[in-house]
Chain A
């Protein structure tokens, strides 16, 4: 394959600006999908992606394009997600590309992830082509957006006006890819050097590895060496995404594809690892990806203790497909054996939880999420705490520190004061304001991460009528007056319900939490007390009255099948509850803290 006819690019943007819809048009125009088989956001195949209307996983597709210059080209397109929690998917994809289409919604203009993703692409050395999308909308203001792009340092002459929905601009985009995105460099005759940018576990095929070749070529029979994992596999199949996996004979320099080998141990494959030929290896691996830091942690516990190994297996397989998922075993007095998992955000956590339940059929409990704290003990030791239950007793603590982030919010000026009030109420410290354009202000605050990762985004949206967008990055740990809030159910502390909160908010949170739990925990056969405590001091108390009625008053011949189904449904409900002591606690109880503002 001739390198000069190859173009590798990704589509990046703020959430919902139309990446996947544009991908649809490119798939159609290049004949990858017939219009008969087309459905909206074709590449969003995962059930969760379709339900939520967002992209979660980056997806690669190979397209054949016959250009106006008379030549045939091969494109490798990667559609990426826009939500902050999945930024890692974007950064991973960038390394497989030479170019990026930066999509901007013509009615929304430049938003926080437009800027963040643009910088990521620029830093990765990608040629960025701006596309102003949704020009069909009533509220489209392409001229304003052009200005905003220029202020970002992009060449507005290159910007393409498009409507992915109506197919406007598709031809121009395809031609711009040919003209502006450089072909990959590298040499087919050098030893194999390829980067793993993703992988997945397929029930039929086993582990499938997605990679981009920088030098050399690969075909079945090659002994592939994973340089960092230091493991070797004989490749049994190589192929490309059309978008379905299609086996081909060989993949060469610059190309993007997958390989399958008899990989038993899923931990042998690490995203970011370098593949080389074991018989003719290169010396130094590619730099790979930056270690990612989990922002949010929670415990996952199987409701049925016998499913611990199932959960472990599922987490390992999911991690293949999502290297930003972290987990390690832990145990809880209340919940038994499970895993402490780290995520990039709350949506990420929610998605992983749902995938485990749907794709792996595991009934489990997710405990309330928290950030990672640092504790300096009186003995001078420094410990990192990612599970509130592990906070040492107050007497041993010299100082507790919590992570801070730099928050960047982009908003039309009229919402500035609302937003600043919000940041202040979340213990934010003002840094600066600057106008990005005349109609967009960027506000910076330093804030405790714990105040941000939960409901901040939802509130931000509501105080700005949906106009503001945000992005943040970790800065450092700072001392704070933090305490552990324990919850007792029927006089027993349920460790999985403990949270770490700022002392000023502890009283309020304790009260609210007890109240929520009272609503969530169903009535039991006896009265159940719910108490919130800091150390030995009870700060809130609620009680759930005993259940007195649960009966089918009428049951005759015609009712039996229906009534049995009703009972089966009640039983299903019970299966989703965890028995702690004598009390049955539903899954939602452990996430109740999220419902408190």
Chain B
């Protein structure tokens, strides 16, 4: 449990220019939804009005999909609505996900004015061949233009998203990506090992043998190369896939990893308040139609047990390199971590996947890329 009733706020925009070949997010090509966008944003604000009433919002994250694919009026509507219906506390971190090729100077200005102070841009790769394989609707040059535009508009806290482990990729390719990324001086870098999500075109190609996946050995080598490279470049590795300059860690995402409260609005958005986990219906049109029955139909409510909350807190906290603070754990759950998990901890200590350091339990270096082996012990 946390001390106050403040929460993070996630706003989902389920539209993109086009669908990337690896992506299984709840997002759809915007061209198929032109006529419903304004209904969608209305619905979203209605949901926000009902849900966010008395809750102080300490971080905002507008994500997707691609929020910046929205027409300017719609983006404006959301930003205005947010300031009206949500009690955003002063100096709150306010992030928006932005994709290359969807930004305009106007949109950027609008966001700055509305208090957006952090932008996250999906670059994924600096290699046009990889971008093509990923089905991204932009090339590296286009990304650079967008990035410059963001900086010119005055954003001083920018994240770049990258993916490593594309079929055919070599260590040298990753090295190039890193060099170029670091030279852009982003405050934050998220770099994910490619997940072949069931049913995505990329995954289908791999299953059919059209593409061959990288060996796990190479992926592990890449991962540790990335870690060492970015740390040397002055980034702090603070979560399995996230690196940040000093003081620039993403506060909103840390809410998830500390298993604290957050609200979610929009199609498919999830929220958690106390032991209540909610998940909105994913289908955009149904979401719009069903908003009237907000209490019933658009929510899949799940009351989790105390044990589940504990186990989720453990595996989420361990994602962060600072780990799980033993004192905080005891204060929150009234129980001693080592008493609860003595057997599991000893086994993982023995396997050199987990360690204790400065009053916290943490993944070891080897444990990072084998973290599921650790987490399964706690679910």
Residues on A facing B (Cβ under 8 Å): 525, 545, 547-558, 560-561, 564, 567-568, 570-571, 574
Asked whether B279 lies within 8 Å of A561 as measured between CB atoms, the reply is yes
Whether, in the assembled complex, B195 has its beta carbon less than 8 Å from a beta carbon of chain A, the answer is yes
A560/B270 in contact, CB under 8 A: yes
Given the complex, which residues of A lie within 8 Å of B223, measured CB to CB?
Answer: 549
Asked whether A548 and B316 contact (CB < 8 A) given A525-B351, A556-B253, A557-B270, the answer is: no
Residues in A with CB closer than 8 Å to B10 are: 557-558
Roughly how many angstroms separate A567 CA and B220 CA in the complex, as a whole number?
20
A263 to B122, CA, bound (A): 71
B319's nearest neighbour on chain A, judged by CB, is A555
Residues 339-351 of B, flagged 1 when their CB comes within 8 A of A and 0 if not, give: 0000000000001
A564–B369 touching, CB < 8 Å: no
Q: B316, A549: Cβ atoms under 8 Å?
A: no
Known: A556-B256, A557-B270. 16 other contacts (CB 8 A): A547-B370, A548-B370, A549-B219, A550-B371, A551-B371, A552-B371, A553-B195, A554-B192, A556-B253, A557-B255, A560-B316, A561-B270, A561-B302, A564-B312, A564-B315, A571-B376
User: What CA separation (Å) do A558 and B264 show in the bound complex?
Assistant: 9
* Contacts between chains A and B (CB distance < 8 A), count: 98
CA distance A549 to B373 in the complex (A): 9
Chain B interface size, under 10 / 10 to 19 / 20 to 34 / 35 or more: 35 or more
For the complex, what is the distance from the CA of A165 to the CA of B370, rounded to whole Å?
56
Cross-chain pairs A/B with CB under 8 angstroms, 17 sampled: A525-B353, A545-B217, A549-B220, A549-B369, A549-B370, A550-B369, A550-B372, A550-B373, A551-B240, A554-B192, A554-B241, A555-B316, A555-B319, A557-B8, A558-B268, A560-B272, A570-B372
Out of A545, A548, A568, A570, name the residue touching B369 (CB < 8 Å): A548
| A567 with B375: CB separation less than 8 A | yes
Residue of A nearest to B194 (CB): A553
Cα separation A555 to B193 with both chains bound (whole Å): 12
Residues of chain B within 8 A (CB-CB) of A558 are: 10, 26, 264, 268-270, 279
**Majority SS of interface residues in chain A?**
loop
Chain A residues with Cβ under 8 A from B192's Cβ?
A: 553-554
Q: Across the interface, which residues of B come within 8 angstroms of A560, CB to CB?
A: 256, 270, 272, 277, 312, 316
| B372–A557 CB distance below 8 A | no
Query: Which chain B residues have a beta carbon within 8 Å of chain A's beta carbons?
Result: 8, 10, 26, 192-195, 216-217, 219-220, 223, 240-241, 253, 255-257, 262, 264, 268-272, 277, 279, 302, 308, 311-312, 315-316, 319, 351-353, 366, 368-373, 375-376, 379
Name the CB-closest residue of B to A547. Answer: B370
Q: Closest residue to B63 on the A side, CB-wise?
A: A556
Q: Do A570 and B376 contact each other (CB < 8 Å), given the known contacts A548-B220, A551-B240, A564-B312?
A: yes
CA distance A557 to B95 in the complex (A): 15
Q: Which chain A residue has the least Cβ–Cβ distance from B219? A: A549
Q: How far is the CA of A556 from the CA of B217 in the complex (A)?
A: 26
Check if A568 sits within 8 Å of B262, measured CB to CB: no
Given known A547-B370, A548-B370, A551-B240, contact A557–B256 (CB-CB < 8 A): yes
In the bound complex, CA of A549 to CA of B270 (Å): 28
Residue from B241, B272, B315 in contact with A557 in the complex, judged by beta carbons closer than 8 Å: B272
Contact among A525, A548, A551 for B372, CB-based, below 8 A: A551
Contacts of A571 in B (CB 8 A): 376, 379
Cβ contacts under 8 Å, A552 to chain B:
195, 240, 371-372, 375
Q: Closest residue to A554 on the B side, CB-wise?
A: B192
Shortest distance in angstroms between B306's beta carbon and chain A's nearest beta carbon?
Answer: 15
Chain A residues, Cβ within 8 Å of B312: 560, 564
A525 to B379, CA, bound (A): 20
CA distance A558 to B253 in the complex (A): 11
Partner among B26, B271, B370 whose Cβ is within 8 Å of the Cβ of A550: B370
Contacts of A551 in B (CB 8 A): 193, 240, 368-372
Would A557 and B262 be within 8 Å (CB), given that A567-B379, A574-B376 are in contact?
Answer: yes
A564 to B370, Cβ gap below 8 A?
no
B281 to chain A, nearest CB (A): 13
- Residue of chain A at shortest CB distance from B8: A557
Q: Which residue of A lies closest to B10 (CB)?
A: A557
Q: Kindly state the separation between the CA atoms of A574 and B379 in the bound complex, as whole angstroms.
A: 12
A561 CA / B26 CA spacing, docked (Å): 15
Query: Shortest Cβ distance from A227 into chain B, in angstroms?
Result: 53
In the bound complex, what is the Cα–Cα distance between A525 and B367 (angstroms)? 10
Closest 10 CB pairs of A and B: A548-B220, A549-B216, A550-B372, A553-B193, A553-B192, A558-B270, A567-B379, A571-B376, A557-B256, A570-B376
Chain B positions within 8 Å of A574 at CB level: 376
Q: How far is the CB of B368 from chain A (nearest CB, A)?
A: 7
| Beta-carbon contact of B268 and A525 below 8 Å | no
- B316 touching A568, Cβ below 8 Å: no
Closest to A523 in B: B216
Alpha-carbon distance between A547 and B223 when the two chains are bound, in angstroms: 14
Which residues of the partner chain A approach B193 to less than 8 Å between Cβ atoms? Answer: 549, 551, 553
Q: A495 CB to closest chain B CB, in angstroms?
A: 24
Tell me the minimal C-beta distance from A553 to chain B in angstroms: 4
B240–A553 CB distance below 8 A: yes
**Which of A525, A553, A555 is B373 in contact with, Cβ under 8 Å?**
A525
Q: How far is the CA of A434 from the CA of B35 in the complex (A)?
A: 81
The residue of chain B having its C-beta at the shortest distance from the C-beta of A545 within the complex is B217
Closest-CB distance, B231 to chain A (whole angstroms): 18
Residues of A within 8 A of B353 (CB): 525
Question: Is B270 within 8 A of A525, CB to CB?
Answer: no
- Chain A residues, Cβ within 8 Å of B255: 557
Q: How far is the CB of A583 from chain B (nearest CB, A)?
A: 12
**How far is it, in angstroms, between the C-alpha of A571 and the C-alpha of B316 when the chains are bound?**
17
Alpha-carbon gap, A570 to B373, bound state (A): 9
Q: Return A310 CB to nearest CB of chain B, in Å.
A: 22
State how many angstroms separate the Cβ of B20 from the closest Cβ of chain A.
14
- Whole-angstrom distance between the Cβ of B118 and the nearest chain A Cβ: 15
- Are B264 and A548 touching (Cβ within 8 A)? no
User: For A525, what are the chain B residues with a Cβ–Cβ distance below 8 Å?
Assistant: 351-353, 366, 370, 373
Q: Which residue of A lies closest to B197 (CB)?
A: A554
Q: Which residues of A lie under 8 Å from residue B219 when comparing CB positions?
A: 548-549
What residues on B are CB-neighbors of A570 within 8 Å? 372, 376
**How far is B252's CA from A408's CA once the two chains are assembled, in angstroms?**
74
Q: Could you say which of B195, B217, B270, B372 contacts A554, with CB atoms under 8 Å apart?
A: B195
How far is it, in angstroms, between the C-alpha of A553 and the C-alpha of B241 when the chains are bound?
6
Q: Does A548 lie within 8 Å of B256, measured CB to CB?
A: no
Q: Complex formed: what's the CA distance from A462 to B317 in Å?
A: 56
B256 close to A567 (CB less than 8 A) = no
Query: With A and B bound together, what is the CA distance between A397 and B277 in angstroms?
Result: 67
Q: How far is the CB of A528 from chain B (nearest CB, A)?
A: 13
